[in-house]
Amino acid sequence: MKKTTIETRHFGSTEIYEEEIINFPNGILAFEQYNNFVILSEGENSLFQWLQSLEDPGLAFLIVDPFYIKPDYVPDVLANEIENLFGSTRLDHLTLRCIITIPPNNPDKMTVNMQGPLIISTEKKLGGQFISNNDSHHVRTPVLELVEAGEIA
C-alpha cells in the first residue's frame, strides 16, 4: 500500500494510504469543486471523524455515524440516485455519515444535517451527498435536543 502525506487544518501534516481516498464525483453541496476526501479520526473509538478535503487543507467536515445520534434513522433516498453513483442498489457496502455543524463559541447549539446524509461505498471508494425526502429529517437538527429527549445514550 502506497502512502502519501497530506496537509490538514486539524491534524497538520499526516500520512494516509492512497487506498483511503474517497472520490465524491459531485462534491459536497455548496462545495462541488472539491472531489477527493479522506476520513480522519482523533482516535480509534472517537464518536466524531473528519472528512478532510485533499484539494484544500482548510476544508474539513466534522462527521458522525447518524445511528449514534438517532438509532432509528433511515434516510429516504431514491434508489436510482444510489444506483447512478455506485452502479448498484446493494446497501451492504455503503456507510452513512452526517455532517455536524458547531457554531463558533456556542457548542451547545451543535446541529447535525440529517436531511443531507453522506453515503460512502467503502468497496468502490466513492461517496456522495444525497437529500433525504423524509420530512422529519432537517438540515439543522439540534443535537442537544436529541440528548435531552433521550435519543442519544
- According to the CATH classification, is domain 3-148 in 3.40.50.920? no
Give the pLDDT score at 152.
60
Give the pLDDT score at 59.
97
3-state SS, residue 54? coil
Give the pLDDT score at 44.
80
C-alpha 28/C-alpha 24 separation (Å) is: 7
Question: E strand or H helix at 6, and its extent?
Answer: strand 3-8
DSSP assigned state of 109? G
pTM of the predicted model as reported, rounded to 2 decimal places: 0.90
Domain extents in the chain: 3-148
Q: Is the dihedral of CA 53, 59, 62, 66 positive or negative?
A: negative
Give the pLDDT score at 21.
96
Asked if 58 contacts 9 with a C-beta cutoff of 8 angstroms, the reply is yes
What are the DSSP E strand ranges found in 19-76? 22-23, 36-41, 48-53, 60-64
* Residue ranges, the chain, pLDDT below 70: 147-153
C-alpha 131/C-alpha 124 separation (Å) is: 21
Give the pLDDT score at 34.
98
